[in-house]
Each structure stands twice: as C-alpha cells, then as structure tokens.
Amino acid sequence: MADVTVNATLLGLLPAASFEKLHALKGLGVCIRCILRYAAISDHELYSLDTAVLNHTWDAFVAAHGGSAVPTGSAGVCTCCLDVFEGALGAAGRADLIAKSKDRSSFFTLYWTIRVLEGERLGESSVEEAIGDIVLPHFQAKSYKFHTAGRED
C-alpha cells in the first residue's frame, strides 16, 4: 500500500479561526468531507482527493491546533453523504475531433492516442479511458459505462 500523505494545499485552505467549530462538528458525527464543505472548500478539491488523504490532512489540521482525535458522537451516517444514486447517473459533454492527430474539446482534454492495428493496441489510452479516469473519482463510483453517439469517418 502506498504512503498516504497530507495535502498541503488543502491544509492551507482550512480556516484556523474556525478550528473549534469544525472540530465540534466531527464530534457530532459529521464526516470530514461535509466539515470541509462547511469550511468553504470546493467540491472539486474534496472529490479529487482520496478519503485517506482527506483523513490524514484533517488529522494534521487537528494536531496543528492542539486538538485531539474526537470520536464521532453517533453511530449513524452523515446524511449529506448517503449513497442516494442507486441507478445510473449521466455526465454529458461534447468533443469535436477534427483529425485523429489533433483533438478539440469543449469540456474535456482528450488524448486520442490509441491506434489498433491487427488487434494490437499501439497507443496509451482511448477516449473512453481518458474521460472515464477523470470523471469516475468525482462521482466516487465503482465503475462506469461509456456511451457515445455520432460517427467517425
């Protein structure tokens, strides 16, 4: 297992003046992601980081302010983070591929570097992998299914 480090950028964004309030939320059973949302940390920051990194960063924040680990006050799950999406969730975008060697995209930077010749993969990744690997962590999903429309000449 890789070493989990503290995210220095996120640690710098945490408001020291609000430490007591944020620390009290942890004691009430609020999860770290929701505490950080309360501290005005953007969802992009929160969901681009692994849970272990968030936990270590929170622990460093608590230690820097002389706090101690607070056990959660309830055994329940934080209501903001319940898994409510049992079905499919869609993310849409548009990509205009001008040429196979050049790509343009309104929403994503695509790396059109896959070429298949006689069943052998010659490139680094496909468009599906380039988009899926970026989007998947933001939804904290286990897997994704890629659908496209249109044609390639």
Q: Confidence band (pLDDT; 50, 70, 90) for 1?
A: very low
φ, ψ of residue 104 to 5 degrees: the values are: -135, 145
Between 38-42, 53-57, 128-132, the lowest mean confidence (pLDDT) is in: 128-132
Model pTM greater than 0.85? Answer: no
pLDDT given at position 120: 59
Rounded mean pLDDT of the chain?
Answer: 68
Percent of the chain past pLDDT 70, that is, above it, reads 53
Q: What is the mean pLDDT of residues 24-34?
A: 81
Q: Confidence band (pLDDT; 50, 70, 90) for 87?
A: low
pLDDT given at position 65: 85
Cα-Cα-Cα-Cα dihedral sign, residues 70, 74, 78, 79:
negative
- Which distant-in-sequence residues (6+ apart) come within 8 Å of 92 by Cβ? none
**DSSP string spanning the chain?**
-PPP---HHHHHHS-GGGHHHHHHHHHTT--HHHHHHHTT--HHHHHTS-HHHHHHHHHHHHHHTT------S-SSPPGGG-----S-------EEEEETTEEEESS--------EETTEE-SS--HHHHHHHHHHHHHT-S-------S---
pLDDT given at position 129: 75
pLDDT given at position 97: 54
